């Protein structure tokens, strides 16, 4: 299976169904930001607890994908679609040394249309 950097550069897309995001790769997840484009003062929600049984996020890996279930969200397309917001994943390639800065990347998830997600690599998510 190819890594997420290659998959994103090749234009692969994700899917969303209500509160469930499917990404076509595996990765080591470090943190998740859920940003809403309400104003310059809006602060994104930062999720860092990925332990089993947490109240915020469930992570499941299939053979060819990773599924993120946002437990406190109803329908992500309604909450973040149509330029209302985005999700940023801070991640490293599966098996990479997460302690080396060059191995860590930011993945921006944008809600493109009905069920498709566009994926972008971001250099600095503080300047979106």
Alpha carbon separation from 120 to 6, 22, 127 (Å, rounded): 11, 15, 14
For residues 110 and 118, give the distance between their C-alpha atoms in angstroms, rounded to a whole number: 5
For residues 75 and 10, give the distance between their C-alpha atoms in angstroms, rounded to a whole number: 28
- Do the beta carbons of residue 25 and residue 114 sit within 8 Å? no
Q: For residue range 65-91, what is the model confidence (pLDDT) as tens digits?
A: 999 999 888 888 887 777 777 889 999
pTM for the whole thing? 0.86
Q: Diameter of the chain by CA atoms?
A: 40
Q: For residue range 27-57, what is the model confidence (pLDDT) as tens digits?
A: 999 999 887 665 555 566 777 777 777 778 8
């Amino acid at each position: 299976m190819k890594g997420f950097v290659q998959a994103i550069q090749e234009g692969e897309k994700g899917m969303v169904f209500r509160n469930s995001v499917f990404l076509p790769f595996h990765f080591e997840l470090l943190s998740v930001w859920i940003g809403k484009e309400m104003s310059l003062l809006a602060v994104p929600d930062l999720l860092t607890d990925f332990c089993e049984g947490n109240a915020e996020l469930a992570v499941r890996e299939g053979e060819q994908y990773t599924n993120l279930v946002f437990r406190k969200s109803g329908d992500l397309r309604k909450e973040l679609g149509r330029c209302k917001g985005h999700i940023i994943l801070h991640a490293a390639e599966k098996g990479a040394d997460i302690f080396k800065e060059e191995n860590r990347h930011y993945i921006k998830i944008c809600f493109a249309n009905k069920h498709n997600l566009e994926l972008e690599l971001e250099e600095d998510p503080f300047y979106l």
